[in-house]
Amino acid sequence: MTARAAGPPPTAVSRRTVLRGGAALSVAVAAGTSVAACTPPVSDRQRAAEALVPLVQAADLQRRQAEQLAPRETAYAAALGQVAVERGAHAEALTDEINRLHAPAASGIAVPAGAGTTGLTLEALRTGLSRAAIAASAGAAAADGFRAGLLASVSASCTALREIQLGEG
């Protein structure tokens, strides 16, 4: 007789265990696939709304910057008041368009209260208006219909605010 080695007896996997494991795996794969299928794809309207969010943020920021600069830049106080009013109107019109296209995208609009106002100068506001005009112009070129007209109007207004209201500096 031969001596048997000490240790646990070899474990045999039954056919039933293999079938249960295969069934559980296929259920898990099917569940994962169905969950992925439930996630709605990003629509063109949602993309368009999300593209407007940075423009609203810039408009609101520049409104606050103009309001903050007005008491310090007394020679430009009236012009800065006009910048604040118009950029506020831009923010409102763009927000309305975001809500029309895809309301949940409006949740990304909020700008922290103190953002972009420390060390603020008139020249920094002019530069911001130039950037806003370029961004709105690029958005108008990529859009159609009402949105294209709205963005073209915002671009033209930002250019006029910078060059006419605030001068070249």
For residue 2, the 8-state DSSP code is P
Compute the average pLDDT of residues 13-41.
60
Local confidence band at 83 (pLDDT 50, 70, 90 cut-offs): very high
What is the C-alpha separation between 69 and 75, in angstroms, rounded? 11
Task: Say what the pLDDT of residue 28 is.
Answer: 58
Compute the average pLDDT of residues 108-120.
79
What is the C-alpha separation between 158 and 86, in angstroms, rounded? 9
CA distances for 58 relative to 75, 95, 132, 159, angstroms: 24, 12, 7, 14
Local confidence band at 1 (pLDDT 50, 70, 90 cut-offs): low
Closest-CA residue to 121 (of 57, 169, 58, 160)? 169
Task: Say what the pLDDT of residue 15 is.
Answer: 64
Task: Say what the pLDDT of residue 111 is.
Answer: 76
Task: Say what the pLDDT of residue 114 is.
Answer: 72
Task: Say what the pLDDT of residue 119 is.
Answer: 82
What is the C-alpha separation between 162 and 125, in angstroms, rounded? 8
**Burial (CB count <10 Å: 0-12, 13-18, 19+), residue 71:** exposed
Query: 5 or 44: which carries more pLDDT confidence?
Result: 44
Structure pTM? 0.75
What is the C-alpha separation between 169 and 79, in angstroms, rounded? 13
Local confidence band at 40 (pLDDT 50, 70, 90 cut-offs): confident
CB 125 within 8 A of CB 61: no
Q: Which helix (H) or strand (E) holds 128?
A: helix 122-142
CB 105 within 8 A of CB 46: yes
Q: Which helix (H) or strand (E) holds 155?
A: helix 145-160
Compute the average pLDDT of residues 146-167.
97
Segment among 103-112, 128-137, 142-151 with least mean pLDDT: 103-112
CB 99 within 8 A of CB 53: no
What is the C-alpha separation between 61 and 131, in angstroms, rounded? 13
CB 159 within 8 A of CB 132: no
Task: Say what the pLDDT of residue 4 is.
Answer: 56
